[in-house]
Structure 1
Amino acid sequence: MNSKVALLVVQGVILYPALLWKSYQLTRAPSDVARWMVTACLACFAASYPLGLLAGDVNQPDPGSIVPLLFQHIFLCGLVYSLACFFLFSALPPARARRRAWQEAVPLGTAILVMASVTVLMPDVPPTAYPRAGVSVFYLAADLYLTYGIASACFFARRYARGAAPRLARGLLVASVGFALGAVGGATLIAVVLVHWAGAAIPWLLVQATVFLVFPSAILLVIGLSYPGAATRLAAARVWWQHLRTYHQLGPLWTRLHRAFPEDALSRTPLNPWRNALSLLGVHRRYYRRVIECRDGLVRISPYVAQLPHDGPLADRLTEALRAHARREPVGEVGMPIAVPDGAGLDDDARELVALSRSLKAAPA
């Protein structure tokens, strides 16, 4: 597998999951114009990918079949135009963004018109026999627009990143590096086409430079545009995992309190032990419910704890208080704070309850 094929495979592996993820996000916010533009950008990229493979393993200025090349470059130009619209609708008022979007459509339409005209006028011969001038005009129209659009996107990305939220700013900075590489690669492609049109020999190093600039730029573009959403979901996954762990860590404390005060359960549906251990759904709801039920149980048992000597481990005193409650021993109405957290948040409360649950697990039942 040569380097170009490897880069193509990496592109595909990153591109299509990113498109699926952005499409899912779009269903959550269908009125977000900027999100529409990002999704359109990735969709154009995804559509151009198989068309490039269909055209054949070619490098500019050597063409493949002209019709797949035409549609591949139309989608690539649409990719760049969608990027421009993303930044316009993200940074400008809607009315002004629409005007600028129409202005940016003029060079896009010009490039597509030139490429389509060359395709229609191209003789029906094998790609190796295409006229040099026609091939050069085709690639120049595409490369000039792509280089212009990518350079503009790089400028917009750097500018917009300065006032964006941290995750979005990091994603835009990564994308801007991809844009910068793409703009340099586009300029290199323009030079290759001009040298070929002039009939001179194209240096091998110049052709390889375009491959190692354009392909990594596309990968960085997909990573940069996908980073904010992926980072948000990763942070949510960390919270989900923390709540799942805490839920199970509170098991020993909750079990003893629930046995003593079953009427305090927020859910009247009995829990299947296997389903409770293996279920990955409703983690946040179960976490909040278990913390609240543990705290309610401690409030109910606190009068029994208050009448015991205040020396010794809290887990031992809580165990003795639960035994006294089970024996229905008389108790006063004044309780005492148990496992008081340092902070006022629910997670702070959960940490104190987990510490008590761990020590209770080691205490005799």
Structure 2
Amino acid sequence: MNSNVALTVLQGVILYPALLWKIYQLTRAPKDVARWMVTACLACFAAAYPFGFLAGNVNQPNPGPIVPLLFQHFFLCGLVYTLACFFLFSALPVAEARRRALLEAIPFAVAMLVMVLVAVFMPDVPPARYPLAGVLTFYLAADLYLTYGIASAYFFTRRYARGAGPRLARGLRVASVGFAISAVGGSTLVAVVLVHWTGAAIPWLLVQGTVFLVFPGALLLVIGLSYPGVATRLAAGRVWRQHLRTYHRLGPLWTALHEAFPEDALSRAPLNPWRDALSLRGVHRRYYRRAIECRDGLVRLSPYLAHLGDDGDLAERLGEALRSHARGETVAPEAMPVAMPDGDSLDDDVRELVTLSDSLRAVPA
């Protein structure tokens, strides 16, 4: 497998999961125009990918079959155009973004018109016998537009990243590096076409430079555009894991209080122990519900704790208070604060509940 094919395969491995992720995000916000544009950008990239294989993954200025080559470059140019629209609709008012998008459509349409005319008038012969002028005109139209669009996207990206949030800014900076590399790679492609048109020998270094600039630049583009969403999901995954772990750590405290005050349960459905231990669904809902039920139970038990006084370990006094409640003893209806947090947030409250729950494990039932 040569370097060109290897990089193309790697590109596909990263590209299609990124596209599926953006489609999923689009279903969550179908009215977000900017998200439509970035999804269309990756969709164009994904559509160009198989046509590149059908065209033989040729290096310029060598031609492949003209029809798949036309579709490949149509989608590549569409990628650049939708990318420009993404930044326009993200940074400008809708009316201004539409006006600028129409202006950006002019060079895109010109490039496509030239490529379509070349494809229509290309004789029906093997690619190796295509007229040199037609092939080079085709490539020159595509390369000039791609280079222009990618260079413009680089400046759009750098400007937009300055006012974006941390995750989006990091992703845009990665994408801007990809744009910069791809713009240089596009310039080398234009140089290859022009050198070949003059009849001179194309330097080997120039040919290799196009491979090792265009493809890595495209990979960085996909990674940069996908980074904000992936980073957000990873952060959400860490919160999900923390909530699941805390939910189970609250188990001893919740079990003791639930047995004493079953009527305080926010869910009337009986709890299956095996399902509760193994289920990975509804973690956040179960976490908040358990924390609230624990706090409600402590409020209900606080008169018994107040009757016992402040001396001794809280977990041991909690166990004694639960036993007093189970025996049906009557105490004065006075309350006392139990396991109160230093801060006002739910996380502070849950930390105190977890500490109490952990210490309750060591107390005899």
Amino acid at match of 2:86: F
Q: Which moved more, 1:3-12 or 1:152-161?
A: 3-12
Which residue in the other structure is 2:214 paired with? 214
Q: Which moved more, 1:125-134 or 1:65-74?
A: 125-134
1:335 shift after superposition: 2.0
Which residue in the other structure is 1:117 paired with? 117
**Inter-partner Cα distance in structure 1 for 2:300 and 2:321:** 11
**Inter-partner Cα distance in structure 1 for 2:57 and 2:44:** 20
Alpha-carbon displacement from aligned partner over 1:171-220 (angstroms, at most 9, x marks no partner)? 11111111000100000000011111111111111111111110011111
Amino acid at match of 1:88: L
DSSP 3-state at the match of 2:308: coil
Which residue in the other structure is 1:350 paired with? 350
Which residue in the other structure is 1:149 paired with? 149
Which residue in the other structure is 2:329 paired with? 329
Alpha-carbon displacement from aligned partner over 1:291-316 (angstroms, at most 9, x marks no partner)? 01100111111111122242322111
**Inter-partner Cα distance in structure 2 for 1:192 and 1:2:** 20
Amino acid at match of 1:190: V
Which residue in the other structure is 2:205 paired with? 205
Amino acid at match of 2:150: I
**Inter-partner Cα distance in structure 2 for 1:256 and 1:62:** 76
Which residue in the other structure is 1:134 paired with? 134
**Inter-partner Cα distance in structure 2 for 1:271 and 1:166:** 41
**Inter-partner Cα distance in structure 2 for 1:33 and 1:299:** 49
Task: Please give the TM-score of this superposition, normalised by the length of structure 2.
Answer: 0.98
Which residue in the other structure is 2:233 paired with? 233
Which residue in the other structure is 1:28 paired with? 28
For the pair 1:284 / 2:284, whether they are aligned, the reply is: yes
Moved segments of 4+, more than 6 Å: none
For the pair 1:194 / 2:194, whether they are aligned, the reply is: yes
**Inter-partner Cα distance in structure 1 for 2:299 and 2:83:** 57
DSSP 3-state at the match of 2:38: helix
Q: Which moved more, 1:223-232 or 1:43-52?
A: 223-232
For the pair 1:176 / 2:197, whether they are aligned, the reply is: no
Which residue in the other structure is 1:266 paired with? 266
Structure 1 unaligned runs (5+)? none
Amino acid at match of 1:311: D
Q: Which moved more, 1:232-241 or 1:288-297?
A: 232-241
Amino acid at match of 1:198: T
Which residue in the other structure is 1:360 paired with? 360
**Inter-partner Cα distance in structure 2 for 1:334 and 1:6:** 74
DSSP 3-state at the match of 1:362: coil
**Inter-partner Cα distance in structure 2 for 1:268 and 1:33:** 43
DSSP 3-state at the match of 2:219: helix
Amino acid at match of 1:148: Y
Which residue in the other structure is 1:255 paired with? 255
**Inter-partner Cα distance in structure 2 for 1:57 and 1:233:** 35
**Inter-partner Cα distance in structure 2 for 1:158 and 1:316:** 60
**Inter-partner Cα distance in structure 2 for 1:296 and 1:165:** 38
Q: Which moved more, 1:123-132 or 1:71-80?
A: 123-132
Amino acid at match of 2:69: L
**Inter-partner Cα distance in structure 1 for 2:197 and 2:275:** 70
Structure 2 unaligned runs (5+)? none
Q: Which moved more, 1:78-87 or 1:92-101?
A: 92-101
**Inter-partner Cα distance in structure 1 for 2:234 and 2:119:** 46
**Inter-partner Cα distance in structure 2 for 1:116 and 1:40:** 22
Which residue in the other structure is 2:317 paired with? 317
Alpha-carbon displacement from aligned partner over 1:268-323 (angstroms, at most 9, x marks no partner)? 11011111111111111111110011001111111111222423221111111111
Q: Which moved more, 1:237-246 or 1:142-151?
A: 237-246
Amino acid at match of 1:109: A
Amino acid at match of 2:177: V
**Inter-partner Cα distance in structure 1 for 2:277 and 2:39:** 38
For residues 293-312 of structure 1, the aligned pairs below 5 Å read 293-312=293-312
Alpha-carbon displacement from aligned partner over 1:96-142 (angstroms, at most 9, x marks no partner)? 11111111111101101111111111111111111111111110000
**Inter-partner Cα distance in structure 1 for 2:27 and 2:265:** 37
Identity %: 79
Amino acid at match of 2:11: Q
**Inter-partner Cα distance in structure 1 for 2:84 and 2:280:** 41
Which residue in the other structure is 1:3 paired with? 3
Superposed CA RMSD in Å reads 1.0
**Inter-partner Cα distance in structure 2 for 1:273 and 1:3:** 55
1:234 shift after superposition: 1.6
1:61 shift after superposition: 0.5
Amino acid at match of 1:159: R
Amino acid at match of 1:3: S
Which residue in the other structure is 1:75 paired with? 75
For the pair 1:16 / 2:52, whether they are aligned, the reply is: no
Which residue in the other structure is 2:161 paired with? 161
